[in-house]
Structure 1
Amino acid sequence: MNHPVNAPLRAGFIGGGFMAAVHTRASRAARGRPTALASSTPERGEEAARSLGVERAEPDAHSLATAGDLDVVHVCSPNRLHTEHASAALAAGAHVICEKPLATTAADAERLVRAAREAGRVAAVPFVYRYHPMARQARFLVADGQLGTVLTLDAAYLQDWLLDPGDTNWRADPAAGGASRAFADIGSHLCDLVEFVSGQRIHRLAARTRTVFGRRAGTEVTNEDTAALLVELGNGALGTLLVSQLAPGRKNSLTFELHGTRQSVRFEQERPEELWIGGREGSRLLLRDPTAAAPDSARMSVLPPGHALGYQDAFTAFVTDVYSAVQGGHPEGMPTFADGLRAARLTEAVLASAAQDGTWIETPPETEDPA
């Protein structure tokens, strides 16, 4: 579809819940034009469009995906619908941002990677924790050799919003959310960040999962509440990953710590303005300061030091990069459908390992995209 040079990208949104609110705010901040929205019913779409300041509502996702006047479509619908909605938007000629998990199976994720390539469209997945400036700074420290050789890692993503058996939402239903819940939902973020910052792929893993509450609000549950992993990176580094949505007091605690032969580094998403740098002779806190940061970290620092940047800022930086790519740019470190496929393959490896009492499963990097 033709789009005037330098005009705001016309954005459509499939879904009207929490993530649609995050996406519309980010789109507007990235100088997009929130143009259309569709939700689960026409009535919900009208209500969400009004509350989120989107120009119009479409009656359903198919109508939005095929509207013909949208440059980019943000897919924020339940997991099971991602493949259908992203495919329709790509077929109609739109660029696509699809929430994670990209698909509930690796086979469907492969199909989406192939469809995006054949359509020649930008296709991205919001692994937005990459967009915290201090996560980029940690990545620079590793790549610059300041940690030495990474030997071990310790990482976790902990929440408590499903702590009680009465807590539920559509993600707890495998038909809507997929066979994996906690790992596909938040463990995928954790693995993406570990691989992105360390510069190493997880080459194999061993996992155990647990469904603590077999019923939630009277409905049977089969996808997991918690997952624990042992991982081995491509350079032989060993690590532990813990994922839980039943950790009291932990609201969105994503942390990772890498230990090298010279230094260690720790990033905490709930303290995004700092890095802990550990050394044998002493440790220190490195605070965000774009004047002294690595270029890619400074690029994300849109506010001066002391003016805290958080989750919504990271999301805006991600959408800004995607919109730049749509307009011909080549932003560094933008997560694509290929990264979504990587997460889907890791999710299936976790489930396979857990089904075999924690046996090691090989998860080497792909040598090429699906043909």
Structure 2
Amino acid sequence: MKKLGMGLVGPGFIAAHHLDAVRRLGNVDIVGIAGSSLESASKRARELGVGHAYASYRDLLADPAIHVVHNTTPNHLHREVSLAALRAGKHVISDKPLASSAEESRELFEAARDAGLANVVTFNYRGHALIQQARSMIAKGKLGAPVFVHGRYLQDWLTDESTYTWRLDPKLGGASSALGDIGSHWCDLAEHVTGSRITAVLADLHTVVPVRQAPASSAKAFAKQDRSVQQRAVKITSEDLASVLLRFENGARGCLVVGQVLPGHKNDLRLEVNGRTASVAWQQEQPNQLWLGHHAQANTVLERDPARLDPAARGYAHLPAGHPEAWSDAFRNLIADAYTWIRRGGTPETRPAALPTFADGYRNSLVIDAMLRSHAAGGVWQNVDEPIASKRKNKGKRG
């Protein structure tokens, strides 16, 4: 099997996990990385054990040894780098969100579609075996008709007012903070597991910490701030707490709570789907258990056991029962699906069913955009815009 060559642009926090997942595949060459300068890229290349550093992402794209580009840059650079990679004939795996706005996401979706290249956005929670189990159970009608979809994504890393990150700067992270950063994961998961789209939202957004102390230089995500360094007061305009009511196309109702200033919650992602005959719930911090709720019989917990999973989920569990698999394993599963798709030619027909694409990233951007519009309008229901591809298809044009 011919080895594919990959290059990574933006060697920050998440980059190490992309590289780890690729290394675990065993059949991909990590050619090199590019950062904001040759100096910074060289430093990170040494730290991450990568053999080559490029002076710019353009130099990386010009290297014929690279077939796949992982875009892990800050949000405001997603469009520029991914678009350039597609135009250079490279397959693209982009960190989420796909871009800083729905308009930019649409542009990337259309560019990827027209280029005929594999395009992936890292909604990595899809890679959990029990998420695929829940999806299969719902698709087979084992819960009956879904009536309520609810959950949360709660964190506390922004609780301290002295914590600051580029994600809070609208010019770098986009108009939304908590919803765009982690709420996007939950929304993608809810739609993927239920097989039904969110069609309307009613959102209440709030900024708990309206002023933060930021260092004079740029701040990395999740980095502890040095209080001895000179700081500046920064007014925060994006939300760090959100409550959202949801309507799904299958008639189900839902609600979501998102926050990043809630003490004690580290990475508390939870999704529950209640059907007419049964319920299912999954929590990211306990990823090897799937709760099954019943009305006239005892509730049960399904442990992650390859022998007991649906065939559609079994391939995402690699260890025997009793051997926990978690976040990095799910991330590896998503990257494995991505490279499987690339080797198959990157056509729509050959895409693994669980793999999120730029179409999903574009779709997700429209959902978050509707939430922002709902709050801006004073907390009223807003319909989620229909993706442009569907509109064109309905008009008899290329979709």
The two structures have a TM-score, normalised by structure 2, of: 0.89
Q: Does 1:219 align with 2:234?
A: yes
**Does structure 1 retain, via aligned residues, the 8 Å contact 2:370–2:385?**
no
Alignment pair present for 1:362 and 2:391: no
Relative to structure 1, is the Cα distance of residues 287 and 367 closer, same or farther in structure 2, using a 3 angstrom cutoff? farther
Alignment-derived partner of residue 149 in structure 2: 153
**Residue aligning to 1:26:** 21
Once the two structures are superposed, what CA deviation does each residue of 1:76-132 show, in whole Å capped at 9, x if it has no partner?
A: 000000000001111111100011110111111111111112221100001110110
Equivalent position SS for 1:18: coil
Hey, what does 2:6 align to over in structure 1? 11
Is 1:142 the counterpart of 2:138 in the alignment?
A: yes
Residue identity matched to 2:13: F
Range that drifts further, 212-221 or 83-92: 212-221
Q: Distance in 2 between matches of 1:340 and 1:66?
A: 26
Alignment equivalent of 2:283, drawn from 251, 268, 278:
268
Map residues 1-371 of structure 1 onto 2, 5 A cutoff.
6-31=1-26, 32-217=28-213, 218-280=233-295, 281-328=297-344, 329-363=350-384, 366=387, 368=389
CA apart distance, 1:365: 5.2
- Count of paired positions: 366
Return the letter of the residue paired with 2:323.
H
Tell me, what secondary structure is at the counterpart of 2:150? strand
Alignment partner of 1:286: what SS? strand
Letter in 1 for 2:384: T
Structure 1 distance, partners of 2:41, 2:271, is 38
Deviations 1:149-198 (A, max 9, x none): 11112210011100111111110111110111110111110000000111
CA contact (8 A) 1:93 1:119 kept: yes
CA contact (8 A) 1:136 1:296 kept: yes
Q: Give the C-alpha shift of residue 364 in structure 1.
A: 5.9
Secondary structure of 1:368's aligned partner: helix
Shift of 1:214: 1.9
Q: Is the 8 A contact 1:66 1:88 kept in 2?
A: no
The change in CA–CA distance for 1:66 and 1:222 in structure 2 (over 3 A counts) is farther
Distance in structure 2 (CA, Å) of the matches to 1:121 and 1:293:
32
**Cα drift, residue 273 of structure 1:** 0.3
Structure 1 residue 62 displacement after superposition:
2.0
Residues in 1 aligned to 2:303 and 2:142: alpha-carbon distance in whole angstroms: 17
Which segment is superposed worse, 47-56 or 357-366? 357-366
Conserved 8 A contact 1:154-1:241: yes
Q: TM-score, normalised to structure 1's length?
A: 0.96
Distance in 2 separating the partners of 1:90 and 1:364: 26
User: What SS does structure 1 have at the residue aligned with 2:158?
Assistant: coil
- Flag structure 2 segments of 5+ consecutive residues without an equivalent: 214-232, 345-349, 393-398
How far apart in 1 are the matches of 2:173 and 2:303?
38
Pair 1:96–1:197, CA change in 2 (3 A): same
Partner of 1:3: none
Q: Do the aligned residues in 2 keep the contact of 1:49 with 1:55 (CA within 8 Å)? A: yes
Letter in 2 for 1:8: K
- Distance (whole Å) between structure 2 residues aligned to residue 166 and residue 266 of structure 1: 35
Q: Supply the RMSD in Å over aligned alpha carbons.
A: 1.3
